[in-house]
Structures are given as C-alpha cells and as structure tokens.
Amino acid sequence: AQTVTQSQPEMSVQEAETVTLSCTYDTSESDYYLFWYKQPPSRQMILVIRQEAYKQQNATENRFSVNFQKAAKSFSLKISDSQLGDAAMYFCAYSGGGADGLTFGKGTHLIIQP
C-alpha cells in the first residue's frame, strides 16, 4: 500500500520569505500523480499543484513550485514570496491513477508571520 509522509507538523515563515514543505512517499508503481492541496480554515480542499511522475520537469504554478525527486520518492513544495493568505494546512497526496483514491499525508500547518 502507498504511504505519504509529511514530517513537519507545523512550519512558520515571515511574510515575503520562502518556505519549503517536505513530503515523501512510498510506492512500487512507476506511473502516478502527486499533489499538494491547501486547506484553509474554511476546510475546503483546494488544489495547489500537481506533478505527473512520468514528467521530469518540476511543476510550477506562479509562486508555488515543487522539487520532485522520483528516485528518492520526495515531493517538496516551495512557496515563494509568502503571503498572509497562504496560511493553511497543506496536504501532500498520491494517486496511482484510474479510480484510485488519493492517499494523503498528515499535513503541515503553515503559519505566516506578518
């Protein structure tokens, strides 16, 4: 079974600074998807960024980028120029494809210091 590990329960960063959230996963598959979801206090799950395992290029979405290391099974999220609105729980997730459900990590609570 796949597992997703987020080793940082909480991270704090100054506004406008850069922060990196860690995620590792375990799978025997060669093709899969990885995601970062944001959960603000409203508790809705919002997709931040996704990465297809077959793509070597790291995904980027504006201030958000990932460092995908397939051999190391590592998938970290970098948030540049942190903003107060980035404060939320961030969940790393894995999907094996098809009708597979997402396997989530336990989340990292990101605090933005003004």
Partner 1 sequence: EPEVTQTPSHQVTQMGQEVILRCVPISNHLYFYWYRQILGQKVEFLVSFYNNEISEKSEIFDDQFSVERPDGSNFTLKIRSTKLEDSAMYFCASSYPDRGLNTEAFFGQGTRLTVV
Q: Which residues bind partner 1 (CB under 8 A)?
A: 31, 33, 35, 37, 42-47, 50, 91, 93, 95-107
Local structure of residue 30 (DSSP, 8 states): S
Contact between residue 50 and residue 114 where contact means Cβ atoms under 8 Å apart: no
> In terms of CB distance, is 66 or 107 closer to partner 1?
107
| DSSP calls for 84-112 | GGG-EEEEEEEE-STTPPPEE---EEEEE
> In terms of CB distance, is 44 or 62 closer to partner 1?
44
> In terms of CB distance, is 7 or 14 closer to partner 1?
7
Contact between residue 45 and residue 27 where contact means Cβ atoms under 8 Å apart: no
Minimum distance of partner 1 from residue 95's CB (angstroms): 5
Minimum distance of partner 1 from residue 85's CB (angstroms): 18
The closest alpha carbon to 70, from 56, 81, 82, belongs to 56
Minimum distance of partner 1 from residue 16's CB (angstroms): 28
> In terms of CB distance, is 85 or 101 closer to partner 1?
101
Minimum distance of partner 1 from residue 49's CB (angstroms): 9
Local structure of residue 41 (DSSP, 8 states): T
